[in-house]
Amino acid sequence: MRLPSFFFPVLSVILSLVIIIGCWAGVTSLDLLRKEMEQMRGTLREMRESLSLMPRGGAAVSSAEPEQAGRISDAANAKYFDPAAESGDRILYAIQADSGNLNAVVSNDYTVSQYWGLTMDSLAAPDYADPNDYKGLLAESWSLSEDHLVWRIRLRRGVLWHDFTDPVTKKEWKNVEVTAEDFKFYLDVIKDEKVDAVPLRGYLSGIKEIRVLNDYEFEVVWDKPYFLSKDITLGLIPLPRHFYKPDGKFDGTAFNEDAERNKMIVGCGPYEFVRWENGRRVLFRRFEKYYGRSLGIMPPIREIGYEVIKHPGTRLQALKSKDIDMLNLQPEQWIGHTSGKEFGETGFLDKVRYPAHAYSYIGLNLKNPLFQDRRVRQALSHLVDRDRIIRDVFSGLTRATSGPFFMDSPAYDKTIKPYGFSVAKAKGLLAEAGWRDTDGDGIVDKDGEKFRFSILFPNSSTAYQKMLPILREDMAKAGVLMESLSLEWSVVEERLNKRKFDACMIAWSTGTRPDPFQLWHSSTADLPFSSNFISFRNAEADRLIGEIRKEFDDEKRTELYHQFHRLIHEEAPYLFLFSPVNLLAVSRRYRNRREFPDGIADRILWTPSSEQMRIPGL
C-alpha cells in the first residue's frame, strides 16, 4: 500500500520528516500505508479578511504571496472524491505486530501513526498530485506575518470530537467541539519534559507559543525563520483536553503511563476508534458526524480494520481468501506467488508497484568503543554485499542506497555511490585501526579484545532473517564475528531507547524535504527516546543542519543536503542498505482507484453496493 492517503497528523509523519519503521519485513512486507509523514504543502486563496485577522507579528501576508488561500468551502483533495460513490464496504489491512499502546504522542510505532492518520485531521493537507499545493482541513483560512514568524489560523466551526465514554470516570462525552485551546494543549503536552515525546519535541521546539485569540482563532508564533515552518504549522493537530485532562489537571508521567486511555484514540477525523483486540486486530468505523461531509470529503468506505497476521505466507493466503483487501507483498511473493487465478484477467486482485520513501540500515551504537573509529565503520560497510542481497533476498526489487535521504528526492546526491563489497579493503581499514588476527584464530583482535558484536532486529522481519546469514558469512571473511539478536518489536524499541545494543537493523521513512535534526543533531544524542539512538555527534553535521533549517532557497538547501549526505557517508555511522519498492496487491472491487506519486489514495475509494463486504464483528 502506499504511505496512503489518510493524512498524517502526527508531526513526525505529517511532515514526511523521519519516522521509525519498527517492523519492516523487508522491501514491502512492512505494511507501509501512509506517509504520512508527512505531508503538507499548500496553496490557499488570498485572505482579504478584516483587520481582526492581522497577525500581531506584523502586517498580514496573504496566503497568495506565496500562500494563496482557498475559498472557505474548499477542502483538501475534495476534487478527487467521486460524486457518484456509493457508501459502504470495508478496507482490511494486515499488520505484522501489535502495538504497545495507541498514543501516537509517546509511541514510535509506525502502525499507531497510521491509526492516528485515520482518526485525527490536521489544519491542512497537500494535494495528492501536487504536494506543494495545500488546502485546508480543520483550518478554514490562515495568514502569515511579514517577518514569517506568526501564523494566524482560523478554524472551521462545528468540528466535533468523536463521542466516547471515559474508561476511568465512565463519563459519557458527546458533541464536544474542537477549539483553539485543543491546539494549545497539544503544543503544551509536547513541550512538557515529562512527556516521552522527544522526536516531536525536537520538531516543535521552534514554536515559541500558541496564542489563543478566541475559540476559533489562534496564532502560532515561531522564535526564528525555519524552512519547514509552514509544513509544521499546517500539520498541527489538536489534542482532546476532555479526554487527557478530564479533571483540569495534566501530569506528563501519568500521560505516558495511562494504561486505560492509551488503549483508546479520541480524534476529530473521518474514522472513529471502535476497539483494540490486543494481539488480534484494531477496528475503526466512519464518523458520521464528520465535518468533511459538507465539504465533499467524507470517505465512502465505512469500516477500516488492521488484522495482526505475523507470517507473510499467512498474510498472502488471507488476501487470496478475501479475508484482507490490501497487502504489501514480499519480492518472492510478487514474483512467484501472484500468477494464480486470483491475479488473472478474471481474478479479483491487482498488483501496483512504486518506490517507497524509505531506507533500511544497520545503525552502530557509537557509545560502543568498537565503532568509534571511522575506519572501522567504513570497513564494516565494505563487508555488506549489497548486490548479492538484492539478488538473493529481494529478487532484484530494491535499490542500494548510500545516504540518509530518499533516493528520488533532490536531497539525495546521486554522485555518492554505496560502499562496494571488498574484503580486502575492509581488512586494510581494520588493520589501519589496529585490528589484526594476532593469534591465528580467524578473528581480528586489538589490545586483547576480539572484534565481536551483535545486530538487534525485529523478529517479524523475514527479509532481515534472510540477510543476516549472508552478512555473518561476509563479516567472518575479514575476521569480524557478527551475531544476531531477534526480538519482538516492543523489546527492540525499548533497547534502542535505552541504548542497550551493539548494532540494530531497522528502517526509516523520509520525505522529499527532510530536516536531519531528529536523527543526527548532537543535542539529541543523549536524550532518552530520541531518534538519535546511535548517539551520533559531529560538529560539522550540526553546522550543516543549522544551515539547512534556515535556508528557504531550494537550490541552496539542496547543495547543503548534498554536503550533509557526503559527510554522513564518509563518517559511516549507519551501514546504509536499501531503498525499497512498494509491491501492493489490492482488491479490484474498489472504484475510483487513482495512483498518485505516493501510491493509491485510499480515502477516495468506493465500492458498488453489490460488491460490498463487512468486517466480521464490527
| CATH number of the structural domain spanning residue 398 | 3.10.105.10
**Is 57 among the domain residues?**
yes
Cβ atoms of 381 and 419 closer than 8 Å: yes
Query: Is 301 found in the same domain as 254?
Result: yes
pLDDT at position 199 is 80
Locate all alpha helices (DSSP H) within 305-453, ordered by sequence: 312-320, 331-336, 374-382, 386-392, 423-432
pLDDT at position 247 is 87
Which pLDDT band holds residue 298 (cuts at 50, 70, 90)?
very high
- The answer on pLDDT for 60 being more than 70 is no
**Is 16 among the domain residues?**
yes
- The answer on pLDDT for 62 being more than 50 is no
Most confident of 5-14, 190-199, 222-231, 601-610: 601-610
Burial of 469 (0-12, 13-18, 19+ CB in 10 A): exposed
Query: In the chain, what percentage of residues exceed pLDDT 70?
Result: 88
Locate all alpha helices (DSSP H) within 458-498, ordered by sequence: 462-477, 489-497
**Is 2 among the domain residues?**
no
Query: Is 416 found in the same domain as 387?
Result: yes
- The answer on pLDDT for 12 being more than 70 is no
- Which grid coordinates belong to 48? 482579504
pLDDT in tens, 433-462: 999 999 999 999 999 999 999 999 998 788
* More confident call, 11 vs 169: 169
pLDDT at position 354 is 86
Which pLDDT band holds residue 36 (cuts at 50, 70, 90)?
very low
The boundaries of the domain holding residue 454 are: 358-580
Which pLDDT band holds residue 316 (cuts at 50, 70, 90)?
very high
pLDDT at position 315 is 95
Cβ atoms of 383 and 478 closer than 8 Å: yes
The residue-averaged pLDDT of 122-137 equals 91
Query: Is 389 found in the same domain as 284?
Result: no
Query: Is 208 found in the same domain as 120?
Result: yes
Q: What is the pTM of this model?
A: 0.78
pLDDT in tens, 337-364: 998 899 988 999 999 998 888 999 999 9
**Is 390 among the domain residues?**
yes
Query: Is 129 found in the same domain as 241?
Result: yes
pLDDT at position 97 is 85
Which pLDDT band holds residue 53 (cuts at 50, 70, 90)?
very low
From the list 535, 509, 571, the residue with the least C-alpha distance to 358 is 509
pLDDT at position 33 is 31
Query: Is 168 found in the same domain as 32?
Result: yes
* Strand extents, DSSP E, 201-348: 207-214, 217-222, 271-277, 281-286, 303-308, 326-328
The DSSP line for 23-50 is T--SSS-S------TT------PPP---
- Sign of the CA dihedral 16, 17, 23, 26? positive
Strand, helix or coil for residue 87: coil
Strand, helix or coil for residue 240: coil
Query: Is 391 found in the same domain as 300?
Result: no
Query: Is 179 found in the same domain as 55?
Result: yes
Q: Which amino acid is at 13?
A: V
Query: Is 273 found in the same domain as 386?
Result: no
Cβ atoms of 405 and 412 closer than 8 Å: yes
**Is 347 among the domain residues?**
no
Of the CA atoms within 13 Å of residue 2, those in its CB half-sphere come to 21
Query: Is 601 found in the same domain as 550?
Result: no
Most confident of 11-15, 95-99, 472-476: 472-476
- The answer on pLDDT for 2 being more than 50 is no
**Is 332 among the domain residues?**
no
- The answer on pLDDT for 296 being more than 80 is yes
- The answer on pLDDT for 10 being more than 50 is no
Query: Whole-angstrom Cα distance, residue 278 to residue 262?
Result: 12
Residue 173, domain CATH: 3.40.190.10
pLDDT at position 585 is 95
The residue-averaged pLDDT of 552-579 equals 97
Query: Is 383 found in the same domain as 256?
Result: no
From the list 292, 233, 296, the residue with the least C-alpha distance to 44 is 233
pLDDT in tens, 97-106: 888 899 999 9
Query: Is 600 found in the same domain as 574?
Result: no
Number of domains observed in the structure of the chain: 2
**Is 212 among the domain residues?**
yes
pLDDT in tens, 177-226: 999 999 999 999 999 999 999 888 888 989 999 999 999 999 999 999 89
Query: Whole-angstrom Cα distance, residue 555 to residue 542?
Result: 20
**Is 5 among the domain residues?**
no
* More confident call, 154 vs 67: 154
